[in-house]
Structure 1
Amino acid sequence: MQVRLRQLLVNEQANKVEIARLEKEVDSASARLTEATVKYLTAEKKVDRLKSQTLAKIERQAMFNAGAGSEPQRDPSLTDEQQSAKDRELSAKMAEGHFADVEQARKEAQAIASKQKEEIQQLQVDNARLSEQVTTFTIKFGRLTEEDIAGCDAYKNLKIRLEDVATRYNHLEALNKELSEKIETLDAERSAFKEKILEEQQAVLDEMQAQLSKTESDLARIRGARDDLLQDQQLRKAREESKLSSAKEVAELADARAARIASLEFEVERLHNELDSETSPSSPAVLGMDLPQLRQKHEQLEKAYKVLAQELPSLEQAFKKTHEQCNKKVAHLQETEEKLKRLQAEKNKADSKYFAAMKSKEGLQMENRALKSQNSKSTEIITQLKEAEKKSNLEKQISEMRNTNSALLLKNRELQSRMAEQSNTIDSLKSQLETLNTSLRIRDSSLAKESAVRRDAEIEIEKLHVKLDEAERALESNKPVESENSQLEALRQIALCAVCRGRFKNTAIRTCGHVFCRQCADERIASRSRKCPNCARSFAATDLIAVHL
């Protein structure tokens, strides 16, 4: 808004400068018109003076009177008496020949002087009135009221702009207040929503962490109990299996030994029975034998005993060997069982390590699953936050679009106000153009009239030049004597300007009274050499007085 106000002030200053420039142009045009009018009136007066033969006679008479009143340049070849005689003769001629013309010219000059005096008085009155108006307008321009500038187009435009700026300022202030409240509300809602989401997430994370810790502790406890039970079961199973295998082998060996013992006992009993039956004296077979038969039988029995005696050590040796082999087998089986126990213990250790590895693996899997679930929840939270951020960005874009729309509406209003200002300016320029066209038509008509009058004046001037040439020729034909020529030349030298010696004197300096031509005085004023050539006294442009000789 401040930038806009500064811009409006700059535009106002530019408009003021433009108005001042236009006023200067109008003043310069008015000054040029006044100067042209003055020049035209001066030329018209000169033409009237050239037309008037009586005025020409009066000028000649005045020149002669001025020559007679001042001390003319004397001819060194003449004496004082001769010079005075010539002066008296010249005066007599002038008195005799031109008295009537001089009297008439005097009356005409009196009438012209009275008329010029009236015109001067009227001009003084007009000058005083105009000076008073200038003073009044200057004071009024320094303290302009609203009523004075109410009809100015620039004031109207600035008033329209000010109203537009005030409306836009009020609208922007209300919009800014509304947007500030909305922004504060949205920030509070966003902060509350963010805190709520973070609190919920933290609560969920804490709950999940507690559940995870509890689950891990329960799992570790269950796994430890399971491992202990499995290890105890494996040990019990190994011991039972080793006991069962040893008992089975021992039972098998005992059964084998018992079967062998039973078979040997049966065989021994059979042999005893056979022996008893054969040796029994009550046996009818023995009783019915004779001595050689008995001897033969005895020999057979001895042979049988011997065989048995020989067979029993071999049987004992075989039994011992079998017993030793069984003992070795049992020892081997015990060693094998010991090895199996060691291997089983190692296997149990390996199983415990395996279970520990599996436990750690399951723990890592559980942790991985927990991290995955946490990651998924974090992803959901991030997605929600992104959606919230996207929503806030969309709201920001909507607010920016609203601001842009408001700016465009303001720009539209500004353009409408500018269009209204331009239309007012166009109307005022049209009115000014019509006024200027009217003034131009009037000036063209006046210039046409002035051109016609100027052409008539030029024609009259040409006629006067012709008459002047004829008068000069007549004067040359009636040329006086040499003394009179020298007298006239002296008078002419007195009437000429002392500076340029080419034009007649027509301007006097008020401060010292010396007379020169107007052109030389203007040249001195223009060159800032404002001192009298004769007495070197300073003078100003207002000290110059027109003199008619």
Structure 2
Amino acid sequence: MTELSEKRHLTDDEVGLLDEGHVDKKLKFSKIGEPLTKKDLKLFQKDVLYRNLKEYKRKYLALNETVALNQDVIKLREYYDLLFHELERENSEAVQRVMGKNKNTETVLSKSDFEAQASVSPAPPSVAPEELKPSDIKPEETDAKLTNDIASLRNDINDMNSDIKLNNLQSQLDEVSLKLENSQKNILLKTTELEEINTKFNEQNKAFENEKLESQKLKTELDSYVSQFDKLSEEHKLLLKKLNSLQISNDTGASADIPDKFEETIKHINESLLADLQKLQKNLARIRSERDQLRSDNNLLISQKKGTDIMRDIQNQILSIKEVILNFEKAYGSVTSDNDLLEELKSIELAYNLLATTKLDALNKTILDKQQMEKVLFDFEKLKEKYASMSRLLQDYKVEIEILKKIKIKGDELISDYDIRERISKGKVSNLEKQLELSREVEKFVQLNHNETLSKLNVLNKEICTLKNVVSDKDSLLNKTNQEISNLKTANNNLVNNLSEVNELQSKQDKKHKNLITKLKQASEKISNPELATHVFGNAQISDINLNNNDSSLNGGNSSGLQDQLNNFKQLVYCPLCTLNFKNQMIKNCGHTFCENCIKERLNARMRKCPSCNLPFGSTDVLDIVL
């Protein structure tokens, strides 16, 4: 109730409870400020049940009081019936008039009354039966007492039918109350069971979610392991290929002679390089010899050219001397030849011949000396050139030796690198073999984990199936309990209606009782006039008939009132446009609620105004609600 008061207070008009005077009227619902949710409906139902139970308790206590009074009246009537039976006054006209009995129905009523009260001893009201003995009682005194007790007896007798009805209703109410208590106990037990089931289901859901998370983690780990395994398998394949190649090389016997092969290849390369160098050196020597020959021929030609020039000069000098001699002979031709002149001429000729021979010898010597000097110089130049070529060859050899040293150093480095690489490859091969063993172990472990996860997944799927079955069973139980609750609610509503009918009957019977008391008083005053008495008793019977008719009319009125209440409840929950679906969407601008289908139809038809207040709205102004 505190939660309900925190939300908002529901009046009787909003709940749908109608007063007696407004049964046939339909209530106008007040506008709700906020849309109802499922929690509000539950609180609403709890509030209605609480108030109905409170009213039922109050009416039940009032009925208990009326039943106690009716039992007292029944005891009084039984006591007076016994008195009439003992006094043998049952067939008297006065008693029949007072008790309102006919001769035909007298036997039936007496049998039913006495059979019902055969085992129960009646309690005397004010006068004990021992005091009223037939020997002590006189007819006049009995008539006086009867006239005094007629009013009370008439009231008791007229109320008997209503008391019997009340007893029947009380028995029915007791049965219904027992059924209600049993149903409430069953509802409490079922609610506790449902709560336990919900807690178990929530725990199982949590466990299932945790297992799901663990399974997802295991899946991710499996994926990572699978990826690692794939990488390792690829590396394993590559290493296997390398191992196979190495094994093939080992099988052929080339693996042990790899450094020798390498040295042989280096030697072969060196030999080829040396052969090429020797060829080049031979070509160079041949070219240089040809060059030297060409130079020597050139020098000889130059030297020969110089000797011819000298000879030409000498010949020119000889010619010039001959010309001088001729000129001298011409000059001295006219002179007479004398012996002296002849001798002088002879001496001059001899001197000339001597000079010519000496000069020619000197010239030849000088020419020979020059030729020898030129040869020596040519040889010296040849030697210089040979020395330069040899120095060049030496330099080339030095360079080649340095290159060969470098190649040897590089070969040694390559051999050492190859040895290191061979050691590294052997270490890698051993590591790869170890990794292969580890990968196989990891593969086995991953397969075991995979099998375990598959078994766990199968177990989880089985648990999911069992949980789904349990949920379906619990849903069926919930549906059954909801049906039972609805049946109990209908029974409660029927009981409430019966209580209202009983209250109306009680009020009408109270009015009837008062009217009968007044009529009995009038009858006691006018007991001497029998026509008036019959008139009074006839009116009383007519009033009983009217009361019965009124009871039937009240039952019809209550059913119409229940129908109105149901219609009012439906108007609260169902959509006002289609009256078929529950309200599950609200317009944010105005707060009016409708079903989803109606709002979609209006949006599709471009009727974007609220049906109740004509405020415009769009698809973004619609909110989902839960009742």
User: Shorter-normalised TM-score: what interval?
Assistant: 0.3 to 0.5
Larger radius of gyration: 1
Higher-helix-fraction structure: 1
Q: Relative contact order (alpha carbons < 8 A, sep ≥ 6): 1 or 2 greater?
A: 2
TM-score of the aligned structures, taking structure 2 as reference length: 0.31
